[in-house]
Amino acid sequence: METRLLTANLPDVETECLVVFALDHGDKQKPAPKLAVKDAAAEKAIIDLVAGGEVTGKPFETTLLHRPQGLKAKRLLVVGCGKAKSFSHVEVRKAAGSALRCLKPKMIRSCAIAVPELGSGGEDAVRSLVEGCYVADFDPDTYRTDRKDLSMKEVTIVAAAGSDQSVLQRSLDQGRIIGESQNFTRELVNEPSNRLTPTMLADRAKNMCESVGLKCEIYGPEKIKEMKMGAFWSVAQGSDEEPRLIVMRYEPQGAPEKPVLGLVGKGITFDTGGISIKPADGMEKMKYDMAGGAAMIGAMRAIAQLKPKVRVISIVCATENMPSGKAQKPGDVQIAMSGKAIEIINTDAEGRLVLADGLHYARTLGCTHLIDAATLTGACVVALGHVNAGVFANDEDAYQHFTRALDRSGEKFWRLPVDGEYLDQIRSSIAGIMNTGGRWGGASTAAAFLKEFVEDTPWLHLDIAGTAWIEDNKGWIAKGPSGIGVRSIVEWVKTFSNSQ
């Protein structure tokens, strides 16, 4: 999809479809829709639709008008954005997505979207529009035999005549980079495990790094064993597919020596549960168990192009979790890279094992702040459903950086506790800690396990198990991989940059 910027008056825009947003300025009893852009011709074109109740401003309501009077556009699409008082870049992103998801099945391949008036400014509006368009353009039907290409070919972002084009163009470029990187992550997560083994994931990461100028190192079984990554290897040993340790480095000129941000991702390309095997029902979705690692790869793609002045190292531990005669068993004791002994209670609690070595390795590489992402626990899904992802933190300053990142990313995370009492649940009588702590508080005991391997390093843990895969189509995004985490991780990194 191509995106371009145009500064013009709306009546002069020639396009297959002009998209405008409508806000509800009324109360609960009576909607009062008005366009989010000041244009007399567009307001006049929809006056009958408003009078007839076809346009109400209801969130993500779409109304298509052919041959609108007073406009050169062939069609006018009005997208509702809800109450005017709560209108933000989050609604802009979703409304842009709703517009594309509405137009694509109608075989409309180009459109123009009017930049709405937004309290946080035109730059924010433009960037959010572009992000929303790219996210909406992705469909997961890669391998369908009868697949039809419904992708949008061109989107024109229309700003008011006289706007500062250079400033808005930068915002457009940033939105494109973020949107493309989120979709890159979604493409990885969407791949079946036979088409994205750990080796293939490493190859995809390396090719991405070469394309955007990142340093990339790929290590196999011998190096993993040489570095004494016993927790990581304990998961990998059961599979015929070789594991891969992926290390990506962003080291911009002029960046200070510190901080060094470490991004660590769980890259389980398929999770059977190992000897503690999962139920067959729904196991096909376990190809998504590398979504945390994919989010880190996508985030690094964006970081390389956005060029914040901060050093970043990303580590993805990629393997399968399989049952076999070589697989680890419940009751085994594994020695992590840090030297800590781990009693294996359940082999399906494998994500925390690979992250344990990944987080410790990041510290040995000099990372001063850490963030990890993983589809880690079903317990987090029980706690938060499919609405919010979980976030855990051992450092208030690092967490405040993350809250600022969420203000920009619009992704939904909810903080959960990682108090010392949760560590008590995973103390082992024969080793240092156990890899599970029982049924209760499972998301927090998993976080407490990881906390043991970061020690005093400022750290955030993102449990994205409930939000990395969307079960049903939504107005602004297709069902399938969501790409959650990419936007928030990128924005978190930018909060540490001296050139935001």
Q: What three-state secondary structure class fits 210?
A: helix
DSSP letters spanning 212-241: HT-EEEEE-HHHHHHTT-HHHHHHHTT-SS
Q: Which of 220, 433, 205, 231 is nearest to 351 (CA)?
A: 231
Choose, from 104, 266, 352, 408, the residue flagged as catalytic.
Answer: 352
470 bridge partner residues: 480
Is 474 a known active-site residue?
no
Taking the CB of residue 320, how many other CB atoms lie within 10 A of it? 26
* Cβ(374)–Cβ(295) below 8 Å: no
* Cβ(122)–Cβ(114) below 8 Å: no
Is 352 a known active-site residue?
yes
Choose, from 278, 340, 412, 415, the residue flagged as catalytic.
Answer: 278
Task: Retrieve residue 495's tokens.
Answer: 């909060």
Q: What three-state secondary structure class fits 189?
A: helix
Q: Which of 493, 444, 450 is nearest to 313 (CA)?
A: 493
Sign of CA dihedral 103, 107, 108, 109: positive
Round to whole Å and give the CA distance between 453 and 437: 17
* Cβ(358)–Cβ(292) below 8 Å: no
| Residue 316 C-alpha from the chain's centroid | 15
Radius of gyration of the chain (CA): 24
Residues involved in catalysis: 278, 352
